[in-house]
Structure 1
């Protein structure tokens, strides 16, 4: 990574207002590739970051985007820890005066399902115990605790806080062959009579608006990664011009389109964050089951039943935000890779890493399947036009 000071990503703030983040971003750049060091930074910084829906959602997304612009994998480390802290706070608000769990340590969020794998929660004399297996558990061997979903005795699913250091927790060696996010492997974790603390009632985890808010936070990470790619491109053009190779019209057109795309997406995030903080996106219904396609169940924040009329719901806006950002990221990746060609992918390690990391991370989006879900809601009248 470059030794020059890192720049934050601005959604609503000025550069001077975000100047305090530069030492953190420099630390992230220095720790890139060192997951324990990144987890330490996430623990130190993430606990003090704003939470979605609390009046400073755009600032939270600026922080997630800024970390991801420095190193996409770092954003992939920070985001679940921050999301877990928000989930614990939301659970405490759900049951007023009840502290749901000790928030210390490094946290993950494991909510995906996979064929042939099932995690069950049963209540007995020893309290709630988890048994079974959970797929797509990123960095499980390096984390202290996790928010994890499990099937309950009533036939539903609920979220639980669990200590991953318990002797009843065992982790498979991930069969992780990815060239992107190589330091963030995801594998299956097995639980045998592991004590857990329930967070909210059955269905609460998926029905709370914070589920969709968290999904938009992931989109902020994707967009931050695309900002990093765009900065690489701009700096490459500047360096070439200094050596006497001025950019041609094709290169300039690609940079102009990249600027237009990123600016529009950042402004959309700013507007959505304002609506969230104003209470305009605080309704939700239980999202459908998510499969084992990615490490994040928040990858697919779809609702099972739509509001009718012109009401805005958190689920439809989450689909719009994530789809818009994913399309922006895909286009920026295409524009920059086409114009820079193969050489930096072969010989520029930070650039090649960023491109591979972001290409894998954004694949958590369900693309046309999410658009189909949004189309159903649109057909029922849930739109602004």
Structure 2
């Protein structure tokens, strides 16, 4: 499992204090996430969740995370015995809780009825079941099932505010920045082979295609980050469309890096480079936070009839 001292240096690089727009905070934070993901996707996944939690708390008027803490955001709504609240205390089960078996000290958790609560993971009513994650990918993200038994909790924002805020979609773009960093890391052996003259014409074609796809992903991420940093939030559907566009472009770059690196280089990097093999496995799991064709269908429903091609 990923320890907190592996995540801490990334958290320290974020610019998370509330500041006026236009100071470069969003481009900086997405660049930090992408750089971390190119090295270690487990660390980036945990750092992305902490950044999301920090943003949510600021947006909904909650307390700022204390120095030295690591927060998760546990919003999966699956399985039986969902969380419920009574008298400011939570009971029930939450699945797919990244960081629960690792560095997280606190978490934001969703509860039936669209409510959001903050909890301290040191509470004796919390039981973490860490042995249920069988995938080879993202194993270090310390995902687990968590049982809560009469755990004290602080409600954050009004019911429904977590999903209704424009910042929900800004967090979705941050996830894409981590995917992008992972794709860049996966493509590293292909870039090295090109630099060392080990690629034939077909291999160079794969490298060129990956380079173009990563450039497109980088461009949409930078444009989105600049927009978020310099313009006030738009309507909910505007923010949603932007996020879905970014995620679609980045997901295509991820698929390109995974598929074309394998086709160009064969099994050698997967068989002989443990770090690369782990990065591939991690990225294949992480990018499935996308909802694939369902996300594309949602994006298609948001496309206007007429739009300035250069607007």
Q: Structure 1-normalised TM-score?
A: 0.74
Counterpart of 1:100?
Answer: 63
Further displaced range: 187-196 or 270-279: 270-279
- Looking at structure 2, the residues matched to 53 and 225 of structure 1 have their Cα atoms a distance apart, in angstroms, of 30
Give 1:113-152 correspondences, 5 Å limit: 113-123=77-87, 128-142=88-102, 143-151=104-112
Of residues 158, 167, 189, the one that matches 1:201 is: 158
> For residue 32 of structure 2, what is the aligned residue in structure 1?
63
**Structure 2, unpaired ranges of 5+:** none
Give the whole-Å Cα distance in 2 for the aligned partners of 1:344 and 1:256. 19
Q: Which residue of 2 aligns with 1:189?
A: 146
Structure 2 partner of 1:283: 235
* Counterpart Cα distance in 1 of 2:130 and 2:18: 33
1:19 alignment partner in structure 2: none
Residue in structure 2 matched with residue 251 of structure 1 by the alignment: 203
For structure 1, the 5+ residue unaligned runs are: 1-32, 93-98, 285-305, 307-312
Counterpart contact for 1:111–1:148, Cα < 8 Å: yes
Q: Give the C-alpha shift of residue 139 in structure 1.
A: 2.1
The one-character-per-residue Cα deviations of 1:5-36 (angstroms, maximum 9, x if unpaired) are xxxxxxxxxxxxxxxxxxxxxxxxxxxx7533
Secondary structure class of the residue paired with 2:131: coil
Taking the TM superposition and a 5 Å limit, the aligned residue runs for 1:308-327 are 313-327=238-252
Residue 74 (structure 1) aligns with: 43
Match for residue 175 of structure 1 among 110, 128, 132 = 132
Cα deviation code 1:116-167 (max 9, x no counterpart) = 23111223xxxx111111111112133110111112xxxx211111101101
Report the Cα distance in structure 2 between the residues aligned to 1:382 and 1:319, rounded to whole angstroms: 19
Question: Does structure 2 retain, via aligned residues, the 8 Å contact 1:149–1:157?
Answer: yes
Query: What are the equivalent positions in structure 2 for 1:1-385 lying under 5 Å apart?
Result: 34-46=2-14, 48-49=15-16, 54-55=21-22, 56=24, 57-92=26-61, 100=63, 102-104=65-67, 105-123=69-87, 128-142=88-102, 143-151=104-112, 156-239=113-196, 241=197, 246-279=198-231, 281-284=233-236, 313-378=238-303, 381=305
Task: Give, in whole Å, the separation in 2 of the partners of 1:122 and 1:283.
Answer: 34
**Structure 1 CA distance, aligned partners of 2:157 and 2:125?**
24
Distance 2:152 2:248 in 1: 38
Residue 76 (structure 1) shift = 1.2
- How many angstroms apart in 2 are the aligned matches of 1:376 and 1:333? 29
Change (3 A) 1:174 1:139: farther
Distance 1:101 1:348 in 2: 41
1:278, distance to aligned residue in structure 2 (A)? 3.0
Give the total of aligned pairs.
305
SS of 2:6's partner is helix
**Alpha-carbon distance in 1 for matches of 2:308, 2:278:** 39
Q: Deviations over 1:214-260 (max 9, x none)?
A: 01000000001111122221113334x3xxxx421111111111111
> Is 49-58 or 35-44 further displaced after alignment?
49-58
TM-score, normalised to structure 2's length?
0.91
- In the alignment, the residues of structure 2 paired with residue 372 and residue 343 of structure 1 have an alpha-carbon distance, to the nearest angstrom, of 37
Name the counterpart of 1:290. none
Tell me, what secondary structure is at the counterpart of 1:140?
coil
Q: Deviations over 1:156-202 (max 9, x none)?
A: 21111110110111112331111111212422111111111111101
Tell whether the 8 Å contact from 2:101 to 2:142 is kept in structure 1 after alignment: no
Distance 1:329-1:188 versus aligned 2 partners, 3 A rule: same
More helix by share: 2
Check whether the contact 1:107–1:147 (CA below 8 A) recurs between aligned residues.
yes
